[in-house]
Amino acid sequence: MRILKFGGTSLSNSKKFLEVSKIIEKKFKNDNIAIVLSAPAKITNYLEQINKNITFNKNSKNIFQKIETIFYELSNGINKQQNNFPNNNINKYITNTFDDLKNKIKKIKLLNDNSKKLFSEIISKGEIISIKIMQQLLISKNYLTFYIDPIKNIVTNNDYFESDVNISKTKKNIQKIKIPNKHIILMPGFIAGNKNHELVTLGRNGSDYSAAILAVCLNAKVCEIWTDVDGIYTSDPKIIPTAKLLKSISYQEAIELSSFGAKILHPKTILPLFKSNIKCIIKNTYFPEKTGTIIQNIFEEQSTNIKGITYLNNIVNIVIKINIFKNINFIIEKIFSIFLNFDIQILFHVTSYLENKIYFYIIQKYKDQIKNILKKKLQKELIYDIINIINIDQTLKLINIVGNNINNNINVQKKIFLSLKNTNLNIISTNTTFSKNSFIIITNNNNIHENIKIIHNKLFYKINIIEIFLIGIGGVAKALLKQIQKQSQILKNKNIIFKICSISNSKKMLINLDGINLITWKEQFHTTHKKFCIKKIIKYAKNISLFNPVIIDCTASQEIANFYYDILKNNINIVTPNKKANTNTWKEYANIRNIAIKKNKKFFYETNVSAGLPIIKTLKNLFDSGDELISFEGILSGSLSFIFGKLEEGLSISEATIMAKKLGFTEPNPKDDLSGLDVARKLLILARESGYKLELEDIKIIPILPKYMLKIKDKNTFISELSKLNEYFYNKIKLAKKYKKVLRFIGTIKKGGLCKVELTEVDKKNPLYNVKNGENALIIYSKYYQPIPLVLKGYGAGNNVTAAGIFSDLLQLLP
Ligand code: ADP
Ligand code: ASP
Ligand code: MG
């Protein structure tokens, strides 16, 4: 005997019903089979909505209409494909069923009927009609069918909802039934009967449970659960698209996964199968040939691996403080028996003997009910102040990491703790003693999907993937792509993959989430017609299936910088040489940092100052370890270092500027360099890193260009105007030389955060005397570094060094 249970997702329309009937036919060729069906997808949700506003009004009328339409379409659709299908009868049956319900609802107030009884009748109608349609479909295909009435045969306690089945009584009932040979057995899922033979239901998703009960009662070898995914995954594949399919898991693991949120199985399904040693197989109705997941006895030594991660959204804790020191265990036992008697599941509990408190974690919907019961049953203890019930109104979330015996394996626990390191979970409690197969984390974070994704990928993947969305394709970006392409094999050997998912300039974008080929990207970009849109890039990059997405902003654009807040908010990292965001107002500067911390995302900008020279990291490390800035002096502009070096060699300022631009040393518009604005921005960034709350206007620039030149917008006009200054600079250099000095464009930060940018004559004694040819030098006097300062020196501009700085930031994104 084989049980086949088809869920609502397998029965949502006529096409799927016909597919299911084909699977049934195929299985019936080799085996005796019993079929358990759910209601078509969404039907039970609608029926539940009717229950919520039990009066017959416009709203419930609409819902009824929706439900009836689904069923009519279902029946009519089958009729088109299947000869002899009694469509008219079925349509009549649907109409009568719902007319009858509507009448009952209209009457319920007048008669003051037992509303719970009517609720369970309403909510089960999907299953009843579902099985009726399947039965007629099989009959019209000339099969013999046999109906098992769950109300008569599946015996439960008296609860109308979430009832527990009395398996031994049910088995007796079912084994008494004389099932004729060569009949396909059919039973609606989700439904059972109480002692008075009234209809009761087994809780949402309860058809899985029905199938398990029937499997036990019919001594089946296998219970097959047919659904819309290939089997049980390491996490819900609809939320974590990188989840991996599990070929087989143990009964214990399946119980734990389903009890803590894996809605693929009703939590009560596995225990009866486990006790009777019946295999359970999860199969995909849309791809019946796939093997699915087998749940069976697995010998311990085979599996101390982590199998899955699940979560429950609405958890609360009930905290009871015990104010006496004697007989504590007696009170604890009493409290437990109250939970047990009222059938309220304690997910887990923690007893703190230090605080004399017990923390019970339960599903939120039971909170008020259990509080009232506890108040009643512990009235005496409350009056005499033996206990207090502490009110905590916080909704919590529970994450459970499941695997056979994981709690007896220190290495697995280490791995779990390491995976938590990369999240921003606010962990309220962890519990490793509740079960040897579960590692439970309680948190109050609201959106935990992103954190589960991080934990999941860390636990189940060895490979570190960074998905790159590159904006701007100037010299730096091109150099970066070359470096990534060249290094890809070496990174791969270290299990690191940099996947380029998009390349864009201000006009268009090339997108491929599988990764753009870096040998042919230029041709591909040339032929793309997709218009550039930053919002679309964010939409692609925030896709939850990505491991570690980053937007690299290789532009100098203020508009792109204005999106950084949104980018980080959408769980995307940022790496950028663009200084605009860091030189916005202090408020915006702080906002970006706050959202990055909140979302646990990285905002790296090492190349904002002096290209690849590790100045930002150095300052961060120094200040984190307690150092303080005393003063700073430096040549922060590779272009001006190059230009003033060339002036000493006899070139004119316009010639030197053109040359610097060609070599990629200048900003896109060299005016930004010569105006001193670019250096001022860098100085502002350094000052802010050092703890000064300054604005760009606070940086004093002593200009080297006449005012009218600062107003020129066009790059080429600017460069041609520059030649008018050739003689002025020639004379200035000559004068300095006379006193054995050179001209250097220097930025300084003095005590108190006084910042200045100016062209200064320096003599040989000054360490900046020899800094030229595009070199930068940063001289830091700090509490730790004095009187001899910390000096960083090296190329501070140029495509390759800037790209290398970005590369190094990317490597820092790795967990
Ligand atoms: P059915 O209608 O077949 O009963 P359900 O929606 O009740 O389907 O259950 C199937 C769904 O369970 C899947 O579509 C999936 O989104 C969800 N699910 C949750 N956790 C898991 C998991 N660990 N593995 C597979 N599916 C899961
Ligand atoms: N139809 C019910 C529900 O949607 C039972 C089930 O699908 O298993 O919860
Ligand atoms: Mg289900």
Torsion of CA 50, 55, 57, 61, to 10 degrees: 30
DSSP 739-770: TTEEEEEEEEEEGGGEEEEEEEEEETTSTTTT
Compute the C-alpha angle 304/363/347, nearest 5°: 35
Neighbours of 189 (CB within 10 A): 32
Residue 353 in this model has a pLDDT that exceeds 90: no
Q: Is 235 in the pocket of ligand 1 (CB under 6 A)?
A: yes
What average pLDDT is seen over the chain? 93
Indicate the burial class of 508 (C-beta count within 10 angstroms; 0-12, 13-18, 19 or more).
Answer: middle
Interval 383-423: pLDDT, tens: 999 999 987 778 999 999 999 888 888 888 888 988 888 78
Is 434 within 8 Å of 407 (Cβ atoms)? Answer: no
Residue 124 CA to residue 789 CA, distance in Å, equals 79
HEC string for 622-666: HHHCCCCEEEEEEECCHHHHHHHHHHHCCCCHHHHHHHHHHCCCC
> Which of 66-80, 297-311, 491-505 has the weakest average pLDDT?
297-311
Residue 610 CA to residue 810 CA, distance in Å, equals 17
CA of 708 to the centre of ligand 3 (A): 73
Annotated catalytic residue, options 125, 283, 661, 682 = 682
Interval 517-571: pLDDT, tens: 999 999 999 999 999 999 999 999 998 788 899 999 999 999 999 999 999 999 9
- Over its C-alpha atoms, the chain yields an Rg (Å, rounded) of 36
Is 148 within 8 Å of 174 (Cβ atoms)? Answer: yes
Taking the mean position of all CA atoms in its chain, how far away is CA 139? 47
Place of tokens 């695997």: 403
- Nearest ligand 2 atom to alpha carbon 204: 9
Q: Which ligand is nearest to the CA of 189?
A: 2
Place of tokens 């989700």: 190
Candidates 371, 384, 378, 389; CA nearest to 324 is 384
Residue 188 in this model has a pLDDT that exceeds 80: yes
Ligand 2, residues at Cβ distance < 6 Å: 7-8, 38-39, 44, 126, 189-190, 204-208
Distances (CA, A) of 206 to 199, 213, 272, 313, 605: 14, 11, 14, 20, 53
Place of tokens 């701007």: 472
- Nearest ligand 2 atom to alpha carbon 7: 7
Percent above pLDDT 70 for the chain = 98
Query: Domain 2-228 carries which CATH code?
Result: 3.40.1160.10
Residue nearest to atom 8 of ligand 2 (CA): 205
Candidates 732, 739, 738, 769; CA nearest to 645 is 769
Residue-level pLDDT at 356: 86
Question: Residue 803: helix, strand or coil by DSSP?
Answer: helix
Interaxial angle between packed helices 638-648 and 653-662, expressed in degrees from 0 to 180 and rounded to the nearest 10: 140
- Nearest ligand 1 atom to alpha carbon 8: 2
Residue 347 CA to residue 398 CA, distance in Å, equals 9
Residue-level pLDDT at 701: 96
CA of 136 to the centre of ligand 2 (A): 21
Catalytic: 682?
Answer: yes
2-228 and 307-460: same fold?
Answer: no
Q: Which ligand is nearest to the CA of 235?
A: 1
Is 660 within 8 Å of 666 (Cβ atoms)? Answer: yes
Residue 152 CA to residue 159 CA, distance in Å, equals 15
Q: Is 232 in the pocket of ligand 1 (CB under 6 A)?
A: yes
DSSP 410-443: HHHHHHHHHHHHTS---EEEEESSS-TTEEEEEE
CA of 612 to the centre of ligand 1 (A): 48
| Polymer length in residues for the chain | 815
Compute the C-alpha angle 465/467/469, nearest 5°: 165
CATH superfamily of 307-460: VC0802-like (3.30.2130.10)
Candidates 545, 7, 85, 40; CA nearest to 286 is 7
Q: Confidence band (pLDDT; 50, 70, 90) for 493?
A: very high
Exposure string of 785-810, with b = 16+ CB inside 10 Å and e = fewer, is beeebbebbbbbbbbbbbbbbbbbbb
Residue-level pLDDT at 769: 93
Highest average pLDDT, of 42-56, 99-113, 267-281, 789-803, comes from: 267-281
Residue nearest to atom 5 of ligand 2 (CA): 205
Residue nearest to atom 9 of ligand 2 (CA): 204
CA of 258 to the centre of ligand 3 (A): 11
Q: Is 229 in the pocket of ligand 1 (CB under 6 A)?
A: yes
CATH superfamily of 464-610: NAD(P)-binding Rossmann-like Domain (3.40.50.720)
Residue-level pLDDT at 671: 92
Candidates 262, 225, 232; CA nearest to 247 is 232
Is 428 within 8 Å of 442 (Cβ atoms)? Answer: yes
Residue nearest to atom 21 of ligand 1 (CA): 236
Residue-level pLDDT at 341: 87
| Token reading at 205 | 């998703």
Is 429 within 8 Å of 398 (Cβ atoms)? Answer: no
Q: Is 308 in the pocket of ligand 1 (CB under 6 A)?
A: yes
CA of 238 to the centre of ligand 3 (A): 14
Is 245 within 8 Å of 293 (Cβ atoms)? Answer: yes
Q: Is 261 in the pocket of ligand 1 (CB under 6 A)?
A: no
Residue 208 CA to residue 8 CA, distance in Å, equals 11
- Residues lining ion ligand 3 (Cβ < 5 A) are 7, 205
Residue-level pLDDT at 113: 55
Residue 283 CA to residue 290 CA, distance in Å, equals 7
Q: Which helix (H) or strand (E) holds 736?
A: helix 726-738
Interaxial angle between packed helices 328-341 and 367-377, expressed in degrees from 0 to 180 and rounded to the nearest 10: 130
Question: Residue 810: helix, strand or coil by DSSP?
Answer: helix
Interval 622-643: pLDDT, tens: 999 999 999 999 999 989 999 9
Torsion of CA 697, 702, 705, 711, to 10 degrees: 10
CA of 393 to the centre of ligand 3 (A): 30
Q: Which helix (H) or strand (E) holds 374?
A: helix 367-377
Residue nearest to atom 15 of ligand 1 (CA): 236
Ligand 2 test: best mutation among 70, 163, 205, 225, most atoms within 8 Å of CB?
A: 205
Determine the average pLDDT of the residues in 341-368.
Answer: 87
Residue-level pLDDT at 704: 92
Determine the average pLDDT of the residues in 678-697.
Answer: 96
Is 441 within 8 Å of 399 (Cβ atoms)? Answer: yes
| CA quadruple 49, 55, 56, 58: dihedral sign | negative
Residue-level pLDDT at 273: 98
CA of 808 to the centre of ligand 3 (A): 47
Residue 299 in this model has a pLDDT that exceeds 80: no
> Which of 467-471, 498-502, 660-664, 677-681 has the weakest average pLDDT?
660-664
* Per-domain boundaries in the chain: 2-228, 307-460, 464-610, 615-797
- Nearest ligand 1 atom to alpha carbon 41: 2
Q: Confidence band (pLDDT; 50, 70, 90) for 109?
A: low
Q: Is 237 in the pocket of ligand 1 (CB under 6 A)?
A: yes
Question: Residue 31: helix, strand or coil by DSSP?
Answer: coil
Residue-level pLDDT at 300: 55
Residue nearest to atom 12 of ligand 1 (CA): 264
| Topology of the domain comprising 615-797 | Dihydrodipicolinate Reductase; domain 2 (3.30.360)
Residue-level pLDDT at 327: 72
Determine the average pLDDT of the residues in 233-257.
Answer: 94
Ligand 1 test: best mutation among 5, 210, 236, 248, most atoms within 8 Å of CB?
A: 236
| CA quadruple 373, 377, 383, 387: dihedral sign | negative
Q: Is 205 in the pocket of ligand 1 (CB under 6 A)?
A: yes
Is 154 within 8 Å of 213 (Cβ atoms)? Answer: yes
Q: Is 233 in the pocket of ligand 1 (CB under 6 A)?
A: yes
Candidates 606, 627, 640; CA nearest to 792 is 606
CA of 223 to the centre of ligand 3 (A): 14
Longest dimension (CA), the chain: 117
- Nearest ligand 1 atom to alpha carbon 234: 23
CA of 347 to the centre of ligand 3 (A): 21
Residue-level pLDDT at 429: 85
Residue-level pLDDT at 702: 95
Residue 416 CA to residue 403 CA, distance in Å, equals 12
Is 21 within 8 Å of 138 (Cβ atoms)? Answer: yes
Taking the mean position of all CA atoms in its chain, how far away is CA 137? 42
Q: Is 802 in the pocket of ligand 1 (CB under 6 A)?
A: no
Q: Tell me which amino acid residue 389 is.
A: I
CA of 231 to the centre of ligand 3 (A): 13
Candidates 185, 117, 126, 195; CA nearest to 156 is 195
Distances (CA, A) of 179 to 33, 175, 586, 692, 768: 12, 9, 79, 85, 98
Q: Is pLDDT larger for residue 160 or for residue 34?
A: 34
Question: Residue 720: helix, strand or coil by DSSP?
Answer: helix
Could you tell me which residues come within 8 angstroms of residue 370 by beta carbon, excluding any fewer than 6 positions away? 318, 338, 339, 342, 344, 362
Q: Is 238 in the pocket of ligand 1 (CB under 6 A)?
A: yes
- Nearest ligand 2 atom to alpha carbon 45: 4
Q: Is 201 in the pocket of ligand 1 (CB under 6 A)?
A: no
Neighbours of 767 (CB within 10 A): 16
Q: Which ligand is nearest to the CA of 12?
A: 1
Residue nearest to atom 4 of ligand 1 (CA): 7
- Nearest ligand 1 atom to alpha carbon 285: 3
Interval 39-80: pLDDT, tens: 999 999 999 998 776 666 778 889 999 999 999 999 999 999
CA of 389 to the centre of ligand 3 (A): 36
Interval 314-333: pLDDT, tens: 999 999 999 887 777 888 88
- Side-chain half-sphere exposure of 663, counting CA atoms within 13 A: 19
Q: Which ligand is nearest to the CA of 224?
A: 1
CA of 188 to the centre of ligand 3 (A): 14
Residue 434 CA to residue 509 CA, distance in Å, equals 52
- Nearest ligand 1 atom to alpha carbon 10: 3
Q: Which helix (H) or strand (E) holds 565?
A: helix 564-569
**Cis bond before residue 188 (omega within 30° of 0):** no
Q: Which ligand is nearest to the CA of 38?
A: 2
- Nearest ligand 2 atom to alpha carbon 127: 1
Interaxial angle between packed helices 58-81 and 87-111, expressed in degrees from 0 to 180 and rounded to the nearest 10: 160
